[in-house]
Every structure is written in structure tokens, then in C-alpha cells.
Amino acid sequence: MTRDAELVELFEYKVADIQAGRDPKGGRRSLAELREYLRGAALDPAMSRRVRVADRIWRQHQKNAADALSNLPALSSDESGALGTLEVGGLDLGTLNTVPEALKAQLSQLSEQAESQTRNEWTVLGRLRAALFHAELRAQAQQQTRIWLKEPRLSTIRLAYALTENLERGAPGTAVPPLHDAFSSLHRPEIAAQVLSSLAAQLSVPADELPRRYLQVRSALTQLADNPFPRTPGSDLIEARVRAAEHEQLSAEVKQALIQALKQGPDAPRSASEQPPLRSAASRLLGFLERVVPRSSGGQGLEWPLLDGLLFSRSHLLRLSEPDSQALSLAIHLPGGEETRWRGHLLRWKRVTLGKTTPHPGWEVQLSDGDGLSEDDGMNIVRLSAQRPEAESRFGGQPVRLVLVGEDLALELRPVSHADLFPLSVEARLTAALLEPGADYAHLRLARAAAQQLRGNDINPDKVSPESAARYASAPPEALLNFARQGAQTLLAYAAQGDDAVSRAFAEARTFLQLSRPHSEALLDLVRLSLHVEPLPIKDDTRSVPEVESGLYTLLIFRGEPLTVRVNDRLVALRNDYKGDLCAVMPGLTAMPVRDLLVLPMPQGAVTMIRMGERVAVGFQPLVVTPV
């Protein structure tokens, strides 16, 4: 039985108790809170029908009880005075107007305080779950932005821009901007990131509204893919001006220049050849939306974060006696306590005042990042407020996300999949394959020939012949690495637009160079890895000198102290040079700087390193095609 089904059944039992004249377990307030939650939950039709039936019975019982009270005969003044005077301040219960005014004011104040403390904590949990989901949605949008910025024509980002504009206006009409549109400036990473953030904001709605909003976004995307360049009054005017210019008594050169100038305006007609790439972009954008929207809301993504209760909750029904040590998420009503231990690690919080120019209230959260065995573990400090309700930190050696909603906090441990390193690992593996010297750098020559085909040019034999490979062998290692990486980036960018063109280009290049089929197929397999983001395969190795295995990465956290890793029985050291830059040192090779990507060739393959901040993943790429 699912959680929603259990709650519906619990609601029916509580209503049955009320109908039989019994107080439900947890009291009538717990029944009211459960009723409010179920009325706002996204239930299937059968569950909703059961809730409506039970709710109708409950409301009828409440109405009958109110009618019964209203029909009771009122007490006369004599009868009410017969209650006498209790020895509690000498008050006559039958004569309310004798209650002192000071006591009346105190009772009124207490009543107001009790009402202000009443809240629906089912709604609080729902808001915390939504806040965690929306934060993850924005994070995935930012990660996807970095991938789509590598497309040569930025088709997906341009399409996303027009989609968000249409959604914000509530109607179609915005055309997909041209590639070098000065107004939108989508080639700038910060602008592209803002576009994807706006798209994520369109889906940042409560759980019960997400299915309807997701359908709206899908419908708008389909409509835009069918007609990416809707006509405007300006388009008709430009066409009329072009027809008029064709009849002007001008020389052919001047007339052609005039017509071209008229067609360069923002409302100029667009070429039909732009539509197929945009349809492919729509497919990629739809695939992204399906991956981030939960299955219960119509997508294919993970479900909403699970919060089973609220630590220090005011409601007995939702109160957690202690955090679940196996759970990956935790919700806390902050005013109810000061600290707790979760998964063996200390967690503290306190009220603080944040901001210097405009002070405002907030919370300081201290998270233990040690082994949990000592109270002196290193503490990460996060400050949250209504102005900055989200943050990411580390807790117990793992990444954690924090969101603040009012005075309630939700924490969610992030699965350490390192999926953000995956695109860089694909680029590193393809670069390593292009650097293989076998058959006169056959892979690098093949990639250059395929790139010429993809650009619409004929293959230049002088640039891809075996004799041309002599300069690769004599080039400095860092210069050759940069050259091969540029080739890998070009292939990955074209692959993002569609697999068919890349496959044809490789087939024609292989035939031109008279290479065997395994060469092109091996490179194509590496290129196709970039079409999906997957978790980076990490090997769990706690030894002082971890060892890299083929197909797996060893993750190192570099914080200034030298580190050593073993790759194919050879040691690779990571350390800062005299300038403070991280370098990789391997016996027999020159020290190479580790920026975001590094490939160190070896006889049996290559060492690949990818870096983001303090994380350095070290892998080994065997030879793609083994020499005969």
C-alpha cells in the first residue's frame, strides 16, 4: 500500500470515530490537519473519490452538531446565577460582565497567540519537498547549459529562449532568434544560464500543479518546433519592400546590395534550412524536460524528495522522535530545538541577524564534516534567511543541500554520482584516442578529415596524409594536447546536432584515408557517449596510494598536499609547482599542468585527468585500436 493510500484509509478511520461519537486518535486537530493535506494532494481518481465521501460525512456531522447546540434552550438569569461563586478570584460564573477587564484582555491575548501558533504542518512538509525539488531542477538546468553551449549553432539554447518568452507572455509569437542575434546574446554563458533558469522557473510549482504546467510547456514546445518563425506584420512589410526594390532602376550590384540589406533586419524572412536543426533541438529539450519531471507528474525523472516527518514538530502526528539514520533527507522545525545528531554527525543551529546595511533575521546552521567521532570535528557554517533560502555545503563528508522555508529547514544529502564530471570525461577519452600515435596518428587524421566534411568542405589530402603526421610527433606535448582537444570538441559539437551527419562524415573520411572500419567505429562510439549525461564510474579506494583500474576513475580531493596514484604500475604524483599551480608528474615525462583536462600518453594507452575545483578524477584509457 502506498503512503497516500494509507493516509486516505487513516482519514476514513478518523471520520468513522467522529461519527460514532469517539475522539479520533491524535485528537480532532490531527483530523483537521490530515483533511487539509488530502484535499490539496495529487491523488488518483479512486483515492480522491474516497476522500470526498469521507469529507462529506465529516462536514455533515459537524453541521448536525452545530444545529444541536443552537437548539438548546438558553439559561435564564436566575438559572445562570444558581451556579454560584467559585473560589477562583471570587468570580460569579453566571455573570460574565463581572469579569475584570484586565483578565478579559489577558484571555484575549492568549487566544490570539494560540491562533497564531496554529499551522498546517502537512503543508509545511509539502513546501519543503517542493523547495528541494525546485533547487535540484535549477541545478540540472545549469549543468545542461554547459553542455548545450558547446553546440556550434546553439540551436537548443535559442529554442529554449523563444520557449520561455512564449510561456512568460502566455501566447506564441516569439520567433527563435538568429545565431548571432545581438539582442539576445545567447553565446554568453551567463545569458544562456539565465534562459535555462527561466525555463526551470516555469516548472517550479507545487506538486499538484506540476502535471498541468508540464503539459503546457510540452504543448508550447511542440507548437514552437512546428513553427519556429511565426510571421509578424514586420515580415510582410519587408517582403513588400524587397519586391519594390526588385523593380527599382538600379544597377545589378546596387540592387543586390539593397535587397540584402533589407533582408538583414530583425523581421526578415528566415531560411527553411534552419528548421530541421531546430526540430532536433526540440527533441533534445523535450528529453531534458522528461528527465527532470517526476513520473508522478508525467515525466520520467526521479520522484519528489521524501520527508517522513518534522523534527521538533508541534504536531504529534508528524513529529519525529529522532532523525532516521538511513534517510537521505531531514526536515527540522528550527525554533523547537538547537541541535541533533543525524547519521552519526552533529548538526547545530541558532538565530542570527544577517546583513550590515539592511539587517534581517536569519539562521546559522553548523554541519559537522568530520568522522563523527569527536565533538571537535570541522564544522561547516551556512547562514540562511528569506533573502537567501538555499545553500550547498558538506555534511559528514558528503555534499548536502539546505533549503529554508519560513522557520523550517530541509536537508538533502546529494548522491555522489559526479555526473557533472561525465561530459569532461568523454572529452578526455576522445582526446586520448586522437593522440594515439599508431598508423601515423590515424585517429587524428581521421578526425580532421571528418571535420572538413562536416563543415561542408572537401577533404584536403595535404592536411590528412600520413606524411602530415610528422609534425604531430615533433610538436611539444602541451601544444599537441590542445590541438587534439580542439578536434575532439569539434566532433562532440557536431554530434550534439545529430548522429547521421557525423556517421556519414566518418565513413567518407575512412574511405578517403583507406583505414580499417575499427578505427572509425571506435571513435564514433566515444563521440556518442556525449549524447547522454551519466554518473561517473568511481572506484572506492581508501588506500594511501589508490590504484586506477580500466573503465573506472579514482577520485582525489586535492587541497594543497601532494597526492600519489598508481596507474598501470606507474606512479603519478599531483602537487603544486613553484607558482602554486597543480601539476601532474610522472617519471620520464615533463610535469604538465592540470587545469580542467589532461591526457598523459603511455605505451598501453593514456592517463586521463579531469578536474573541477578540488576534485580530480584520474582514469586510464586503453588503446582504442590495438596495433597488429
- β-pairing verdict for 554-557 and 408-413: unpaired
For residue 291, CA distances in Å to 158, 294, 299, 329, 506 come to: 20, 8, 7, 21, 30
Largest CA distance in the chain: 120
Q: Is residue 504 part of a domain?
A: yes
Confirm if 565 and 554 have CB atoms less than 8 A apart: yes
Spatial separation of the C-alpha atoms in residues 51 and 80, rounded to whole Å: 43
Report the pLDDT value the prediction gives residue 558, as an integer from 0 to 100: 85
Looking at the structure, tell me whether residues 278 and 251 fall in a common domain. no
Q: Is residue 155 part of a domain?
A: yes
Looking at the structure, tell me whether residues 337 and 358 fall in a common domain. yes
Count of C-beta atoms within a 10 Å radius of residue 601: 17
**Which residues in the chain come in under a pLDDT of 50?**
75-99, 111-116, 372, 628
Looking at the structure, tell me whether residues 350 and 395 fall in a common domain. yes
Confirm if 554 and 541 have CB atoms less than 8 A apart: yes
Helix (H, G, I), strand (E, B) or coil at 384: strand
Spatial separation of the C-alpha atoms in residues 99 and 87, rounded to whole Å: 14
Looking at the structure, tell me whether residues 177 and 291 fall in a common domain. yes
Looking at the structure, tell me whether residues 484 and 448 fall in a common domain. yes
- Side-by-side strand order, sheet with 563-567: 547-548, 563-567, 570-576, 582-585, 592-593
Looking at the structure, tell me whether residues 286 and 162 fall in a common domain. yes
Range of the domain at 579: 547-622
Q: In 3D, which of 314, 296, 312 has the Cα closest to residue 304?
A: 296
Report the pLDDT value the prediction gives residue 34, as an integer from 0 to 100: 83
> What phi and psi values does residue 269 have, to the nearest 5 degrees?
-60, 145
Q: Is residue 85 part of a domain?
A: no
Spatial separation of the C-alpha atoms in residues 217 and 212, rounded to whole Å: 9
Looking at the structure, tell me whether residues 182 and 290 fall in a common domain. yes
Looking at the structure, tell me whether residues 502 and 458 fall in a common domain. yes
Q: Is residue 618 part of a domain?
A: yes
Long-range contact set of residues 190-196: C-beta below 8 Å, sequence gap at least 24: 192/145, 192/148, 192/149, 192/154, 192/157, 193/142, 193/145, 195/145, 195/157, 195/160, 195/161, 195/164, 196/141, 196/142, 196/144, 196/145, 196/157, 196/160
Report the pLDDT value the prediction gives residue 553, as an integer from 0 to 100: 92
Looking at the structure, tell me whether residues 196 and 325 fall in a common domain. no
Number of domains in the chain: 5
- Side-by-side strand order, sheet with 360-368: 339-342, 345-354, 360-368, 379-385
Spatial separation of the C-alpha atoms in residues 360 and 375, rounded to whole Å: 30
Looking at the structure, tell me whether residues 349 and 207 fall in a common domain. no
Please state at what angle helix 477-495 crosses helix 517-528, rounded to 10 degrees. Answer: 70
317, three cell numbers: 502526528
Q: Is residue 350 part of a domain?
A: yes
- Side-by-side strand order, sheet with 329-333: 319-320, 310-311, 329-333, 408-413, 398-405, 390-395
Q: Is residue 91 part of a domain?
A: no
Give the bridge partners for 617, in sequence order.
555, 610
Report the pLDDT value the prediction gives residue 266, as an integer from 0 to 100: 53
- β-pairing verdict for 597-602 and 339-342: unpaired
Spatial separation of the C-alpha atoms in residues 109 and 446, rounded to whole Å: 82
Q: Is residue 58 part of a domain?
A: no
Looking at the structure, tell me whether residues 400 and 472 fall in a common domain. no
Q: Is residue 24 part of a domain?
A: no
Please list the alpha-helical segments (H only) found in 170-310: 189-202, 210-226, 233-246, 252-262, 275-292
Report the pLDDT value the prediction gives residue 452, as an integer from 0 to 100: 94
- β-pairing verdict for 547-548 and 563-567: parallel
pTM for the model stands at 0.53
Residue length, the chain?
Answer: 628
Helix (H, G, I), strand (E, B) or coil at 283: helix
Looking at the structure, tell me whether residues 430 and 364 fall in a common domain. no
Number of H helices, E strands in the chain: 19, 19
Spatial separation of the C-alpha atoms in residues 269 and 263, rounded to whole Å: 7
Can you say whether the dihedral through the CA atoms of 40, 46, 47, 51 is positive or negative?
positive
